[in-house]
Structure 1
Amino acid sequence: MALITDERGGVLVDAGQSPAHAREIRAALAATGLPEPCWLVYTHHHWDHVWGACAWPGVEIVGHVAGESLLRAEAARPWSHRYLREQVRTEPRLGPSFRARALAMETFDDFAVLPPTRTFTDEMELPTGVRLRHVGGRHAPDSTAVLVPDSGVMLLGDCWYPPPAHLREPDDGPDLALVRQLLDDAYGWYVSSHSEPMTLAGARAALA
């Protein structure tokens, strides 16, 4: 997750993995005096990036068009701890993901998966100057990079990671070719969702 904010409004990147997680982030923002975001951007549709959205009232949710139908299908599932257990019994490869979801959710009362309310195809610029770029990749078809030109920061989400564990083949690995395509002299920092931030020089050295 990340928050990009100035006098034009705040952009929240990803919603958190659960409503409880989102409420913790909201409390932290309030404690520091930062305003509530106006826009919530999904880097992609996976649960640990979107399940907190229902705890961010009043924001416009922006995501790539490829994720909209996927999230509508997710929204239609009868989510509960019992449902998670039943799905793992039917398909054991779902175990790591679905057990993590069960641990993240104390209750499914008042929970909802929210598809984006505004979609884009290739690129989009928000009123704050934050730019969204569809990059795709094997991890998720709707993977989106969030570019912050004023700060020279590019938020990558999970775009270069391998496919989720239950879809992964033995030869699947990080998509380094995608990273090479994204590196840009105009951006000095690259931030992935589950990795340490890297400078442009550090990213190039790691790829070499």
Structure 2
Amino acid sequence: MLKQIATNVYYMPHYAETDRPALGLICGENFSLAIDAGNSPAHATDFLDLAENMDITPIKLAVITHWHWDHIFGMKTVGRLTISHQDTKRQLEYLKTLKWDDASLDKRVENGEEIAFCRDMMKREMPVRDYLELQAPDITFQDTMQIDLGGITCVMEHVGGEHARDSSIVYIPEEKVMFLGDCIYQDFYSGEWSYDLKELQILLEKIKKYDVRYYVLGHQSPKSYDELWHFLDELLDVGEIVGDETSPEKAVERFQLTRKIEPTKDQLEFIGNFVAGNQKK
């Protein structure tokens, strides 16, 4: 059984061992909608099998939050009409031209086009990928799109962010639940994992305007409004302390002088993320 977070909203939890993200299911009176397609045909099949055992309306659509492999490799298996931001489709059209066998993956890591973490997780989730078939979304939107499932509405908005510029959120106003995908996570495709403070502030302003009780994140357990914003407010505050500093040591000194305490392990990670972002400018 999928886990229920609201009357008409369910999710399949993330699984870190093979980097499976959380998948969503929104159930209306007329039809249901899936959020993201999984990181493999097996992941998609597991999700569909669980959904088929539930007393819900048929799944007719799937929304893709962004282009990264772990959210799109199961699209062919999901087998429904898919919706995404227009930039997500452009990225998937390119991914369709690539080969996914071990040698091709290894070469892209060597060339800097792929990162080792994603390659290793692909191999762990799908030992054989020679015949992996990808597909592009059927329907795209530019800024926002709204779908009535019958008594339940899904609002999609392109919010961008450093993790993936094409990222979109899915908001269910009747349930006050938002699926964030991976949009609040760091940039990890260009060197050290990093945040840019201004980019993060712009992203979080887009998210905060919605009335939300629960957030479903791609690779963490769902968070209440208070839980998530306690984390994000701390992240922003650390970013403001770091400012434009490009030296890790000086950034830590700034934190110590401002807070009058030693940074925790998490705070050190935040400091490192913002320093790395400043170094990339």
Answer yes or no: same fold by TM over 0.5: yes
Match of 1:186 among 211, 221, 244: 211
2:190 to 142, 167, 192: 167
Residue matched to 1:203: 228
SS in structure 2 of the partner of residue 182 of structure 1: helix
**Cα drift, residue 180 of structure 1:** 4.4
CA RMSD of aligned residues (A): 2.2
- 2:229 aligned counterpart, secondary structure: helix
**How far 1:89 sits from its partner (Å)?**
4.0
Distance 1:179-1:195 versus aligned 2 partners, 3 A rule: farther
Task: Provide the secondary structure at the position in 1 that maps to 2:82.
Answer: strand
Deviations 1:25-49 (A, max 9, x none): 1111122344541111011000000
| Aligned residue in 1 for 2:171 | 147
- Choose between structure 1 and 2: higher helix proportion: 2
Q: How many residue pairs were aligned?
A: 206
Distance 2:228 2:102 in 1: 40
| Uncovered stretches (5+) of structure 2, i.e. residues with no partner | 1-22, 235-281
**Cα separation, partners in 2 of 1:7 and 1:86, compared to 1, 3 Å:** same
2:40–2:125 contact (8 Å) kept in structure 1 = yes
Cα distance change on mapping 1:200 and 1:176 into 2, 3 Å: farther
* 1:84/1:102 contact within 8 Å kept: no
Q: Would you say the 8 A contact 1:29–1:35 is kept in 2?
A: no
Q: TM-score, normalised by structure 1?
A: 0.89
Q: In the alignment, residue 84 of structure 1 is paired with which amino acid?
A: L
In 2, the alpha carbon distance for the partners of 1:170 and 1:102 equals 22
C-alpha contact 1:22 1:53 (8 A) present in aligned 2: yes
For structure 1, list consecutive stretches of 5 or more residues without a partner in the other structure. Answer: none
**Closer, same or farther in 2 for the Cα pair 1:186/1:11, shift >3 Å?**
same
CA contact (8 A) 1:162 1:172 kept: yes
Q: How does 1:95-110 map to 2 (within 5 A)?
A: 95-108=116-129, 110=131
Closer/same/farther in 2, CA of residues 84 and 35 from structure 1, 3 Å limit: farther
Tell me the equivalent position of 1:79: 100
SS for the counterpart of 1:150 is coil
Summarize the Cα distance change of 1:92–1:72 in structure 2 as closer, same or farther, 3 Å threshold.
closer
Higher relative contact order (CA 8 A, sep 6+): 1
Residue 83 of structure 2 aligns to a residue in which SS?
strand
Structure number with bigger Rg = 2
Does structure 2 conserve the Cα–Cα contact (< 8 Å) formed by 1:183 and 1:200? no
Percent identical pairs in the alignment equals 27
